[in-house]
Amino acid sequence: MTLSLFLTYLAGCFAAGATGVLIQPGDWYRSLRKPSWTPPDWVFPVAWTTLYLCMSIAAARVAGLAGSNAAVGQALGFWAVQIALNTLWTPVFFGLKRMGAGMIVLICLWLAVAATLVSFWRIDLIAGLLFLPYIAWVSVAGALNFTVWRLNR
């Protein structure tokens, strides 16, 4: 792992994180019925900052392996898919206010994160471990998206 690799993958996370800065939940989200276990608002930016750092470190570890093979290229491909889907969710849910379409994006994101986790784990144990908080958080976010969608039909 080198600093340039870490910063490159972190730049991808900045693009994804920019959606959360530019597209705010607003009055629409505040007016929705939400489950009792909805995390407070301040948790989300803290969680995402932590997760973006973890996933950039994990990617830099895998990308920096010398003498690697196509398994690394496959794993980094899954990483690219998950960061694009991560960028897509906020505009669909908060921008378009389409909770069903947001659910589809989240399911695809969960699958992409799971694929990245498994392929990273096989290459580098620490990189795999660094993806565990991410899959846990996307599971919670998926349950929240689903519940909010059903409560506000």
Q: Is 5 among the residues that bind a copy of itself (CB under 8 A)?
A: yes
69-100 per-residue burial string, b: 16 or more CB within 10 A, e: under 16: eeebeebbebbebbbebbbbbbebbbeeeebe
- Taken as a whole, the chain contains a residue count of 153
Instruction: Residue 58: name the closest of 124, 112, 127, 128 by CA.
Output: 127
| Closest to a copy of itself by CB, 59 or 103 | 59
Q: Is 107 among the residues that bind a copy of itself (CB under 8 A)?
A: no
Stretch touching a copy of itself by CB under 8 A, among 1-9, 28-36, 42-50, 132-140:
1-9
- Give the tokens for residue 119: 């392929």
Minimum Å distance from CB 112 to a copy of itself? 7
Find the binding residues for a copy of itself in span 19-38 (CB under 8 A). 19, 22-23
Whether 72 and 123 have beta carbons less than 8 Å apart is answered as yes
Find the binding residues for a copy of itself in span 57-76 (CB under 8 A). 59-60, 62-70, 72-74, 76
* Own/partner pairs, 30-34, CB within 8 angstroms, 24+ separation: 32/148, 32/151, 32/152, 33/148, 33/151, 33/152, 34/144, 34/147, 34/148, 34/151
Q: Is 50 among the residues that bind a copy of itself (CB under 8 A)?
A: no
Stretch touching a copy of itself by CB under 8 A, among 28-36, 37-45, 105-113, 144-152:
105-113
The residues binding a copy of itself (CB under 8 A) are 2, 4-5, 8-9, 11-13, 15-16, 18-19, 22-23, 59-60, 62-70, 72-74, 76-81, 83-88, 90-92, 95-96, 98, 101, 105, 108, 112
